[in-house]
Amino acid sequence: MATLRPPLLVLLTISRRGICCPEGMAIVADKSTELVPGTLDMLILKTLALEPMHGWGVAVRIEQVSRSVFRVNAGSLFVAFQRLQRGGLVRSDWKATENNRRAKYYTLTELGRKKLTNETREWARQVAAIARILEPS
């Protein structure tokens, strides 16, 4: 016969670095990371290259594809969409969402597609250069 144990009460502390708990217990901490400066626009453009999306959908897609390494906050996303619209890289239209709410959907323009191609090429060149520098001597 199995013995019943009383429920375990644990005090968790939430900080900017994750969740802290008593020694000997494991809690998966938040592993999200800040984006490298200048990459948010490229990630948004890449996400919109797949299909038009509303802002929340873009944030969720970036989080999913990055396996939760990147989480984009709404404020950063809003400012980035404004910047991309001013630059003619995306356009927006109000449409109904899957659950029948109105949301602004963003679509990649031809200029945005060209910018994405150039940014992707430049990003790959820079990553390769950094990898060469980090190789063991």
Look at residue 4 in the predicted model and tell me its pLDDT: 53
Which strand (E) or helix (H) includes residue 55?
helix 55-65
| pLDDT confidence of residue 16 | 38
What is residue 135's three-state secondary structure? coil
User: For position 56, what pLDDT does the model report?
Assistant: 94
Q: Would you state the pLDDT for residue 36?
A: 79
Query: What are the tokens at 39?
Result: 């990459």
Q: Are 97 and 110 in contact (CB under 8 A)?
A: no
On the 0-12 / 13-18 / 19+ scale of CB atoms within 10 A, 91 is middle
Q: What domains can you pick out in the chain, each with its CATH number?
A: 32-134 (1.10.10.10)
Report pLDDT for 38.
80
The pLDDT score that the predictor gives to residue 98 is: 87
- Max CA-CA distance within the chain? 70
Question: What confidence score (pLDDT) does residue 37 get?
Answer: 78
Consecutive sets of 10 residues in the chain, 137 residues long: mean pLDDT of each? 46 38 40 78 97 96 95 94 98 93 97 98 96 92
